[in-house]
Amino acid sequence: MSFIIRVLVNAAALWVAAQIVPGIDLTAEIWQILLIALVFGLVNAVIKPILKILSLPVLIITLGLFAIVINMALLALTAGLMDGLTVAGVLAAFLGALVISLVSAVLNMVIPD
C-alpha cells in the first residue's frame, strides 16, 4: 500500500509542477501520468543513491545544495525516458525539481505511511 501511495504522491507532485512551472509539460492521460510517476520513483530509488555517493564531496562542500542539481538531472532523465513529460531547459528543470520536492514533502507529511 505504501508503494501505491508513493506513486500517487509522485504523480501529484509532477502534475503540480507541470501546472506551475513554465517549460514543464505533462501531456498525458491519467494512466500515463501514473506510469511516468512510477518511472520517476524508480529512477529516484535506483540512480539517486548512486549519484549522491559519487558526489558526496561536492554535497558536503555545498552543504547539500548540490542535491538540487541531482534532482534536476533525475527529472530530465525521466523526461528523456518517457513520452508525455517534457522539460524545456535548465531553469524549468531547476524550478520543477524545487516544486516536486516541496509538494512531495508536504504530501508525505500529510498522508500517513
Predicted TM-score (pTM) of the model is: 0.90
pLDDT band at 108 (very low <50, low <70, confident <90, very high): confident
* Overall residue count recorded for the chain in this entry: 113
Q: How far is CA 38 from CA 71, 87, 93, in A?
A: 16, 17, 19
What is the domain extent for residue 43? 2-110
On the question of pLDDT at 35 being above 80, the answer is yes
Dist CA 51 CA 17 (whole Å): 23
3-class secondary-structure state, position 106: helix
Residue 27 has what pLDDT? 87
pLDDT of residue 2: 84
Kind plus residue range of the DSSP H or E element containing 24: strand 24-26
Give the up-direction half-sphere exposure of residue 111: CA atoms within 13 A in the CB hemisphere. Answer: 18
Structural domain count, the chain: 1
What's the rounded Cα separation, in Å, for the pair 38 and 34? 6
Q: pLDDT-based confidence at 113, cuts 50/70/90?
A: low
**Chain segment 48-97, per-residue pLDDT in tens:** 999 999 999 999 999 999 999 999 999 999 999 999 999 999 999 999 99
pLDDT at 43 over 80: yes
Is pLDDT above 90 for 99? yes
